[in-house]
Amino acid sequence: MENSPAVIELRDARIMQDFHTVLQNVSLTVAKGEFAYLVGRTGSGKTSLLKTLYADLPLPEGMGTVVGYPLQKLAEAKVPYLRRKLGIVFQDFQLLYDRSVAQNLLFVLQATGWHDRAKMKQRVQDVLMRVGLSSVGTKMPHQLSGGEQQRVVIARALLNEPVLLLADEPTGNLDPDVTDGIMRLFLEINNAGTAVLMATHNYDLIHRYPKRVFRCANGQVAVINNEELRIKNWEG
Ligand SMILES: Nc1ncnc2c1ncn2[C@@H]1O[C@H](COP(=O)(O)OP(=O)(O)OP(=O)(O)O)[C@@H](O)[C@H]1O
């Protein structure tokens, strides 16, 4: 499985919230190094699908593999190993506001098995540099703008060199020009080899940076073709 060209593979998967089916017969593949969007109206199931991919929701039916880990028989104890190979970026930043940016990142390194203090500090510096924020380590998150906080979240997601980034409306709370900078950062990360699956409502972004688009609608997931993408009510 480790050598599989896919970082996400779902076959006839059912996505559920509690006892309610959100999506069914979901079959999709995201290749190593691919960039793909996930779209759909509010409540159509994008977040639920992403949560299933990082094992926050169980996979009750069908088959799924994410970065080599089979979701349908993933023991609780294996979930941290899956998460270590993933980067997860949410719309609401979910930083820890009682500690500095560097401490936020060190906290994650500690929680994922790093021990060597010097290497940890170096890694923090490396990821902050990567997102264009090399001098903010000592600042508190609330001292940063929304765009900068989102960059810190992306830095945090990069700490363990993920092969896949899952992003749930990462630009949902940001101004258009800040959104563009964040999008470019995702593209840079993708160009360096990390696959990205990004849920978004941002139609402009998809037009400006065209990639494969999966749409959640009517309890199903389908790839949207270019023709459909030109139609205005593409979320429909
Ligand atoms: N914790 C939960 N418990 C039960 N049902 C939920 C829960 N979270 C979401 N749902 C339901 O699951 C369905 C899909 O929600 P989901 O959040 O996946 O949609 P979404 O496409 O991500 O929406 P949005 O664009 O608003 O983020 C909705 O009907 C929602 O009400």
| Domain CATH number, residue 59 | 3.40.50.300
Tell me how far apart the alpha carbons of residues 104 and 15 are, in angstroms, rounded to a whole number.
32
**What is the 44 CA–ligand 1 centroid distance (Å)?**
7
Structure tokens at 89: 């970026």
Site to substitute for ligand 1 among 26, 46, 198, 203, most atoms within 8 A of C-beta: 46
Q: Please report whether residue 126 resides in a domain.
A: yes
Instruction: Quote the DSSP letter at residue 209.
Output: S
Give the pLDDT score at 121.
97
Q: Tell me the backbone φ, ψ of residue 215, rounded to 5 degrees.
A: -120, 130
Nearest CA to ligand 1 atom 9: 17
The domain of 130 spans: 98-161
pTM score of the predicted model: 0.93
ipTM, interface predicted TM-score of the complex: 0.95
Cα-based angle 8, 18, 48 (whole degrees, multiple of 5): 30
| Ligand 1 atom nearest 44 alpha carbon | 21
Give pLDDT tens digits for 120-165: 999 999 999 999 999 999 999 999 999 999 999 999 999 999 999 9
Look at the chain and report how many structural domains it folds into.
2
Residues 169 and 229 in one domain: yes
Q: Please report whether residue 91 resides in a domain.
A: no
Residues of the chain with pLDDT under 50: 1-2
Q: Tell me the backbone φ, ψ of residue 60, rounded to 5 degrees.
A: -80, -15
Q: Please report whether residue 151 resides in a domain.
A: yes
